[in-house]
């Protein structure tokens, strides 16, 4: 009975991830991602692309195999992997593909990826999603400070950049320096509470809330402000 309940729970998690179900905000994540990010630049010093690589946790991956193994052969064939990529791409579009680039106080608009490439590593028992996003308009890196992050507003999906070399840069303008900020949960909670406390008497909490998941997220910074 407990095993059956776990299978149902896993399928519900997968469905919410794929279909963008309007689930309420969660106090803790239910899907875990081991992520890497690669940022590349053009010869002119503009942002060329952000490339994400996500290894999904084993529980989530196994639920996807169950849901998408149409021919019941116990694995995901190329056509089935393609179907997974299309379904997930449709779902996470609503959440900006969990990929955020910022300069100053503004978000940078990124074009939707052409496709999500999906592989299943049977030895690891995990799915890997990889895809590339480009800015909708030319974005100058040279002379600017730019931040990059993956996070889920609802905190249903948690992104971990614990691997060595999780943030890679290619062809950056000379003089650019990269940095990483990964607050602990305690530090994030203090920052979140400070944001709440900083609201004035006439201020209201933004309609989309003050996102603990964003505060907790790992942020990569490219400082190209100096030649």
Tens of pLDDT, residues 188-220: 455 555 555 666 676 665 554 556 566 677 899
Residues 6+ apart with CB under 8 A from 44: none
Q: Identify the pLDDT of residue 154.
A: 78
Q: Is the pLDDT of residue 175 over 60?
A: yes
**How much of the chain, in percent, has pLDDT values that exceed 70?**
73
8 Å CB contact between 127 and 61:
yes
**Range 165-173 average pLDDT:** 92
Q: Report the chain's C-alpha Rg in angstroms.
A: 19
- Domains of the chain, each with CATH number or no CATH: 2-223 (2.70.170)
Q: Which sign does the torsion angle of CA 138, 141, 143, 148 carry?
A: positive
For residue 120, count CB atoms less than 10 angstroms from its CB and return exposed for 0-12, middle for 13-18, buried for 19 or more: buried
Compute CA distances 155 → 139, 141, 162, 204, whole Å: 28, 29, 18, 22
CA distance 199 to 182: 24
Give the pLDDT confidence score for residue 11 in this predicted structure. 44
**Percentage of the residues of the chain whose pLDDT score is greater than 90:** 54
Beta carbons of 161 and 167 less than 8 angstroms apart: yes
Give the pLDDT confidence score for residue 21 in this predicted structure.
45
pLDDT tens-digit profile of 53-100?
999 999 999 999 988 999 998 889 999 999 999 999 999 998 999 999
User: Residue 15: pLDDT above 90?
Assistant: no
**Which band of pLDDT confidence, cut at 50, 70 and 90, is reported for residue 10?**
very low
The CA-to-CA distance between both ends of the chain, in Å, stands at 63
Give me the mean pLDDT over the 111-124 stretch.
95
Give the pLDDT band of residue 128 (cuts 50, 70, 90): very high
Q: Residue 5: is its pLDDT beyond 70?
A: no
pLDDT, position 211? 60
Sign of CA dihedral 208, 95, 163, 176: negative
């Amino acid at each position: 009975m407990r095993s059956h309940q776990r299978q149902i729970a896993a399928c519900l998690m997968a469905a919410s991830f794929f279909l963008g179900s309007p689930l309420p905000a969660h106090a803790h994540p239910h899907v875990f991602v081991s992520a890497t990010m690669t940022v590349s630049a053009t010869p002119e010093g503009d942002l060329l692309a952000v490339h994400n690589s996500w290894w999904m946790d084993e529980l989530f991956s196994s639920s996807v195999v169950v849901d998408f193994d149409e021919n019941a052969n116990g694995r995901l064939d190329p056509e089935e992997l393609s179907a997974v990529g299309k379904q997930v791409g449709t779902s996470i579009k609503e959440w900006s593909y969990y990929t955020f680039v910022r300069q100053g106080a503004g978000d940078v608009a990124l074009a939707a990826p052409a496709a999500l490439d999906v592989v299943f590593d049977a030895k690891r028992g995990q799915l890997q999603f990889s895809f590339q996003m480009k800015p909708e308009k030319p974005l100058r890196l040279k002379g600017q400070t730019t931040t990059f992050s993956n996070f889920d507003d609802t905190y249903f999906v948690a992104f971990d950049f614990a691997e060595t070399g999780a943030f890679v840069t290619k062809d950056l303008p000379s003089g650019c320096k990269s940095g990483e900020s990964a607050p602990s949960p305690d530090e994030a909670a203090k920052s979140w509470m400070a944001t709440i406390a900083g609201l004035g008497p006439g201020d209201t909490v933004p309609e989309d809330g003050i996102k603990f998941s964003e505060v907790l997220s790992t942020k990569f910074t490219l400082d190209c402000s100096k030649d």
